[in-house]
Amino acid sequence: MKFNTKAIHGGQKNIDPGYNSVMAPIYQTSTYSQSSPGEHKGFEYSRSGNPTRSALEKALASIENGSYGIAFGSGLAAIDAVLKLLKPGDEVICTNDLYGGTYRLFISIFKEFGIKFHFIGLNEAAAVEKHITNKTRLVWVETPTNPMMNIIDVAAVASITSKHDLLLAVDNTFATAYLQQPLDLGADIVMHSATKYLGGHSDLVMGSLVVKDKELADRLYFIQNASGAVPGPQDCFLALRGIKTLHVRVQRHCENGRAIAQFLKQNKHVGAVYWPGFTDHPNHAVASRQMSDYGGMVSFTVKKGTLQSAVDVLEKLKVFTLAESLGGVESLAGLPASMTHASIPKEEREKQGIVDSLIRLSVGIEDIDDLMADLEQALE
Ligand code: P1T
């Protein structure tokens, strides 16, 4: 099956043996009756498994070309589960430009539990090799990165991790499975904040993991059940519904993202524009190879360079909503330094380019003329 068909039908055959409903029903139940202790129809308690969640997990596995999908109560809960594969003393190599909450989880929680993190620039995949020790277990990659839109060559990193028998996890939130398939590029785990493009309508918080390997899947299902950060059935239904239109939404996000990036690049009030579709983006060639288009996320600095100049632009926007998050049908704008990435120390942030005048746009699927006019008036 090709992607557009999988987005709608992947893993959904006989989803409701009871009544043949076309959409997976919302099984709003915490428990399931047993005819005799241990005798049931595959579900005992909804932390361990729920049919609506199961339908979503099958859809997730299908769109990522994996074998097993595992859904969580948030993107961070999904990342938390991956880190729980490790033990004190283990080491992780990760991109130095990460979603602020991921950084906070690594530094404020798992570092305290004795896991060591090496944050490195991964524009050159070979840099990974220099930081591998006999304690390294996991390489964590976000691509495109949030919010600087750096691109990491997943296949090149995978060739190193497989040689050293390390796990490679890729946060595919910005690209989505429609534009990029990390498992096909050699990653072991693909992770999503399903809150974003997968849900697609800014109406749920959820995370997901997809893997190919049965043993790894069993361990992650164990952690999902043992730690218990599972999403409810209503949210699973919404995510499943979102996935069915992922391909058409992301096409329009890409189209509008391209137009906005080009518009910003020629606007006299704008400094730098970060979007991997530009031929002068440092890893444009890698983006063109591993992604089928460049996505709907665009970051830029206001030329004046001050915090106030960025705040002025954000306050004047009328169609773009000033808000955290991304990937919904509506356009959002944010100030990473004080919103999504405030938990990263200022000095560290600025090294990555997350300056006070940096604005991040999640370009939605409204009419492009209205989006451009909105940015134009705000920048003027
Ligand atoms: O918010 P949550 O569903 O827990 O997902 C965390 C997360 C993980 N990875 C990436 C790349 C993300 O962007 C996020 C969440 N990001 C935002 C809320 C944001 O506005 O950037």
Could you tell which of 146, 203, 335 is best to mutate to test the pocket of ligand 1, judged by most ligand atoms within 8 Å of the CB?
A: 146
Compute the 3-state secondary structure of the chain and give helix, strand, coil in percent, each to the nearest 5: 35, 15, 45
Cβ atoms of 253 and 280 closer than 8 Å? no
The minimum-distance atom of ligand 1 relative to the CA of 362 is 20
The partner residues of 63 in beta bridges, in order of sequence, read: none
Ligand 1: centre distance to CA 58 (Å): 22
Tens-digit pLDDT profile for the chain (380 aa)? 999 999 999 999 999 988 999 999 999 999 999 999 999 999 999 999 999 999 999 999 999 999 999 999 999 999 999 999 999 999 999 999 899 999 999 999 999 999 999 999 888 888 999 999 999 999 999 999 999 999 999 999 999 999 999 999 999 999 999 999 999 999 999 999 999 999 999 999 999 999 999 999 999 999 999 999 999 999 999 999 999 999 999 999 999 999 999 999 999 999 999 999 999 999 999 999 999 999 999 999 999 999 999 999 999 999 999 999 999 999 999 999 999 898 888 998 999 999 999 999 999 999 999 999 999 999 99
Q: Ligand 1 within 6 A of 195 CB?
A: yes
Phi, psi at residue 323, to the nearest 5°? -165, 155
Query: Is 207 touching ligand 1 by the criterion CB < 6 Å?
Result: yes
Residues 82 and 57: their CA atoms lie apart, in Å, by 16
Residues with a known catalytic role: 47, 99, 171, 196
Q: Cα–Cα–Cα angle for 41, 49, 70, nearest 5°?
A: 135
Q: What is the pLDDT of residue 304?
A: 96
The pLDDT of residue 348: 87
Is residue 102 lining ligand 1, measured as CB closer than 6 Å?
yes
Q: What order of strands is seen across the sheet that includes strand 297-302?
A: 270-274, 297-302, 358-362, 332-334, 321-322
The helix or strand, by DSSP H or E, that contains position 171, with its residue range, turns out to be strand 167-171
Whether the CB-CB separation of 211 and 170 falls below 8 Å is answered with no
Q: Is the CB of 324 under 6 A from ligand 1?
A: yes
> How far, in Å, CA of 228 to CA of 289, rounded?
38
Residue 74 Cα to ligand 1 middle (Å): 9
Q: pLDDT value at position 125?
A: 84
Query: What is the length of the chain?
Result: 380
Ligand 1 centroid distance, CA of 103 (Å): 11
CA 265, CA 288: separation in Å to the nearest integer? Answer: 20
- Atom 6 of ligand 1 has which residue's CA nearest to it? 75
Whole-angstrom distance, CA of residue 272 vs CA of residue 261: 10
